[in-house]
Amino acid sequence: MKRQRIDGQETRQALLAAAGEVFAKKGYWEATNADICQRAGVNTALINYHFGSKENLYVESWKYIFQKSIEKYPADGGIPADAPVRERFYGQILSMMQRIADPANHDFDIIHKEMANPTGLLDEVIREAIEPLDQNFQSLIRELFDKTGTEKQVTFTHMIIMGQCFGPMLHLRRAQGGGDSPPGKKFPPDFTIEELARHIVQFSLAGISGIRKPARSLPEAPYSRLLRNHCKRKP
Amino acid sequence: MKRQRIDGQETRQALLAAAGEVFAKKGYWEATNADICQRAGVNTALINYHFGSKENLYVESWKYIFQKSIEKYPADGGIPADAPVRERFYGQILSMMQRIADPANHDFDIIHKEMANPTGLLDEVIREAIEPLDQNFQSLIRELFDKTGTEKQVTFTHMIIMGQCFGPMLHLRRAQGGGDSPPGKKFPPDFTIEELARHIVQFSLAGISGIRKPARSLPEAPYSRLLRNHCKRKP
Amino acid sequence: MKRQRIDGQETRQALLAAAGEVFAKKGYWEATNADICQRAGVNTALINYHFGSKENLYVESWKYIFQKSIEKYPADGGIPADAPVRERFYGQILSMMQRIADPANHDFDIIHKEMANPTGLLDEVIREAIEPLDQNFQSLIRELFDKTGTEKQVTFTHMIIMGQCFGPMLHLRRAQGGGDSPPGKKFPPDFTIEELARHIVQFSLAGISGIRKPARSLPEAPYSRLLRNHCKRKP
Amino acid sequence: MKRQRIDGQETRQALLAAAGEVFAKKGYWEATNADICQRAGVNTALINYHFGSKENLYVESWKYIFQKSIEKYPADGGIPADAPVRERFYGQILSMMQRIADPANHDFDIIHKEMANPTGLLDEVIREAIEPLDQNFQSLIRELFDKTGTEKQVTFTHMIIMGQCFGPMLHLRRAQGGGDSPPGKKFPPDFTIEELARHIVQFSLAGISGIRKPARSLPEAPYSRLLRNHCKRKP
DNA sequence: AATGAATGAGCCTTCATTCAT
DNA sequence: GATGAATGAAGGCTCATTCAT
């Protein structure tokens, strides 16, 4: 009993969506073709028929779900381009966090797994997708520095603000994922993404100000000198 | 031709170390016993002889490399307990980042992989190892708030400062791992861990001040109202 | 080069039959999947494809060969239900012995191996299959006692008549299996199953009569008293 | 820390005894050298040191436990050679059954496993041990026939009386072995070996009489003719 | 386009046996 | 005589992929 369709598009899409979910949940290596096809309700052989290989499906499915994800949560968070910079800053941060936090979205889960356990298969496609967003965000930070920051300060600040956004989201995703993994005491019992985003914005605006005109320069002495200095970077 | 050793401890340690490297590089599922034993230069069956199973080796090897790691980089960063709080803050952050950045250390790589793709095997042992450090750090942040912060503010701040530290380190580890041009395109060409740590401290101290007495409350209007509000939290 | 079949049933049956033979010959633990698949002429992985596991194949194959066996030798031996009890007695005994003796049948070999070396995997399925036959036979014995026997006498008699049937069959199976000179040194050179069955019936009918009205009670004295009395039964 | 002994005899015996128990419980293939040595409290390598191989240990251990067994329960059951034949008959049967039923004895368990699942390793040694007992018993049966029975009648009778003794013992051993395997409704709740032995003797004496002078010849007609006649014996 | 069957490579584990001490 | 460590050969099972239909 074959489920014959007009063309393969329906099957293709079912596979792309199912693959996104399974890859996001289990990662590339633990996910099996059988898993994916079962969830998609199609025959196992169709992955190779439509995509040629598991690797290809992996790439295609990430592109697919990332596109859906970015459509649902545009990068600017809906803030007009002529709004004050703080508003746009808040908009981008909130949008990013909402995109990650939405349990229906899986693109970030896969990115995270790729960072932890790279297959290398998504390197190029993720870079292409993320780079524009990244540069957008970085120029916004540069704007917040109001042309007073060095390049290095901007880069560092960019990196650590991204860390502020992603870090807590990892815990949130874990807490969402399995009902068993302890959310830990870290999460206040009643918090919203908006609240956290506002905390980050407030914290970071003050942080940037602190970088721009250090109230008191961070004391170099007396103990800091003692700190060991093991890892500079690979020669 | 049998390679006989004085006692099994030598082999045990070789396996623990090799396992740490391989698990850190490939993750639990991609790592094969053959990989590990080849790197340790021993017979495949010895994993089961010495540890009973791959799972057990995984747990034991993480405990082993974490202990080495924490010995090399003590949590306080060498700052005495009676030093000013800012010094101790810097000490903990630098120590944490150095511990992660050191290419000879693999404990964090495994933690990261566990967060992205949990096997569950390390849940208990990691929690036992990390919890004290975590609470130490959190009480330090509470101290920085000088009893003025709410519980939620402290928790949020803790979470995002951890994010500041880890976020950049993830990119650094990737840059170290692959043949990518070190220290990765994301990093300024002449950066050091100490420099970044100092940036984080300066940024965060200002951020905490900003949270404690907000210069101007973050503008709620007019655009913020437009922001969508999708994900609160699962009840 | 793939050997494609109309449907999997052909392969399934080939595996069930081959498994029956191999399990009967070697027992569960000595039998290897490779053995079975080689005999069935199929790929090793097909056991897991069709049955999920070696254990499952074991159970399914026993059910399969037992069904074939009982179809070939119905329990009543072809004697109508209204025939005299002695005829039905003979019928059941002969049928049972023929079923065991037939070199094409393997269900009893497996039962015997399970009794000697239980895997436990067939416990339920064998019990379900054997119980009705057993009760049938026991009620027949009760009928032969003509309501004069105690419950214990009936039970004992049932047990030892079964022993009469099985005991010789075990030797016969061994003689069939090995290159031993058939029908084995234990057997008269010109014996037939029917002849042995008739011997058992004649012997047992007399035995039952002897139990019902003991000609002379078995002498208790004088030596019997000397007999040691080690094993009563575990309390 | 080596447990040095004067000579290996102590270790040898410990291994022989432990091997007997383990082989009896698990059979040759499921029993592992590690099992046996653990129970004997000695090092794994000693099996090969003292016996050369697992196979050899198997043979030696059976000889060892059989000797112990036959010493404990002499074949004649303690009945003098000049006692009446019925007494001696009873003596041999009871002795045989007690030897099997004694939970401290394992020789029969191994014999049974060898019959069900022959390794072939014990063929010769068992035959040598059993043959004298067998011939003894057979000549006793011949005596009971009082020179009236044909050779075939004596052989058949011998075989089925052995079956009477062994059959019930198999159930008993199973019931003794694991507390979980259902003893089944077959066993009267309160029975003793002596009682059962007496039942067998009474039954068999009557049976032999029935063979010698059949009260009424077993009816050949009308149904017996219908009985199928599949398995004569292998050509 | 779609399916179920089939394949082969590879993984973790077990275990009798051997070796150096 | 005794020990702990080490070895290598399977064995059961998984899974991406291929093939005939």
* Residue pLDDT, tens place only, D43-98: 999 999 999 999 999 999 999 999 999 999 999 988 999 999 999 999 999 999 99
Query: Under an 8 A CB cutoff, do B78 and A227 touch?
Result: yes
What is the rounded distance in angstroms from the CA atom of residue C67 to the CA atom of residue C69? Answer: 5
What is the rounded distance in angstroms from the CA atom of residue C12 to the CA atom of residue C19? Answer: 10
Round to a whole number and report the distance in Å from the CA of A2 to the C1' of E3: 7
> Using a CB cutoff of 8 Å and minimum separation of 24, what contacts does C146-150 make?
C146/C212, C148/C212, C149/C208, C149/C211, C149/C212
Q: Is residue C46's beta carbon less than 7 angstroms from any atom in nucleic acid strand E? A: yes
Mutate to test the interface with D, among C160, C191, C204 (most CBs of D within 10 A): C160
Round to a whole number and report the distance in Å from the CA of A42 to the C1' of E3: 9
> Which of residues A208 and C213 earns the better pLDDT score?
A208
Query: Under an 8 A CB cutoff, do D87 and C226 touch?
Result: no
Q: Is the dihedral of CA C210, C212, C215, C219 positive or negative?
A: positive
Query: Under an 8 A CB cutoff, do B156 and A196 touch?
Result: yes
CA distance C226 to chain D (A): 7
For the stretch B91-128, pLDDT in tens is 999 999 999 999 999 999 999 999 999 999 999 999 99
Round to a whole number and report the distance in Å from the CA of A33 to the C1' of F15: 8
For residue B160, give the nearest of A116, A174, A200 by CB distance. A200
What is the rounded distance in angstroms from the CA atom of residue D109 to the CA atom of residue D107? Answer: 5
- Could you tell me where in chain A the CATH 1.10.10.60 domains are found? 1-61
Tens place of pLDDT for every residue, chain A, 235 residues?
555 555 778 899 999 999 999 999 999 999 999 999 999 999 999 999 999 999 999 999 999 999 999 999 999 888 999 999 999 999 999 999 999 999 999 999 999 999 999 999 999 999 999 999 999 999 999 999 988 889 999 999 999 999 999 999 998 988 887 544 444 445 666 789 999 999 999 999 999 999 987 655 555 544 554 444 433 333 3
φ, ψ dihedrals at B191, nearest 5°: -80, 155
- Could you tell me where in chain C the CATH 1.10.357.10 domains are found? 73-179+190-214
Q: Does B73-179+190-214 carry CATH code 1.10.150.120?
A: no
To the nearest 10 degrees (0 to 180), the angle between helices B85-101 and B123-145 is 150
Q: How many C×D Cβ pairs under 8 Å? A: 254
Chain D residues with CB under 8 Å of C30 CB are 29, 117
Q: What's the burial of B115, exposed, middle or buried (CB within 10 Å: 0-12/13-18/19+)?
A: middle
Rg over CA atoms, chain B: 22
Residue D185: predicted pLDDT = 47
Q: What's the burial of C186, exposed, middle or buried (CB within 10 Å: 0-12/13-18/19+)?
A: middle
Query: Under an 8 A CB cutoff, do B232 and A94 touch?
Result: no
DSSP state of C103: T
- Give, in words, the CATH class of D1-61: mainly alpha
Rg over CA atoms, chain D: 22
Pick the residue from chain A with its C-alpha nearest to B123.
A181
Angle at D125 between CA D120 and CA D128, to 5 degrees: 130
Against chain D, the chains showing at least 3 CB pairs within 8 Å are C
For residue D30, give the nearest of C29, C194, C206 by CB distance. C29
pLDDT at D232 over 50: no
State which nucleotides on strand F lie below 7 Å from a protein beta carbon.
Answer: 1-21
> From residues 11-40 of A, which are strand E contacts by CB within 7 A?
11
Report the percentage of chain B scoring pLDDT > 70.
Answer: 85
To the nearest 10 degrees (0 to 180), the angle between helices B54-72 and B123-145 is 30
Rg over CA atoms, chain A: 22
Chain A residues with CB under 8 Å of B71 CB are none
Closest protein CA to C1' of nucleotide E17, residue: D48
Closest protein CA to C1' of nucleotide F2, residue: D2
Chain B residues with CB under 8 Å of A215 CB are 206
B contact residues 31-70, partner A, Cβ 8 Å cutoff: none
**Assigned token pair, C87:** 């005829």
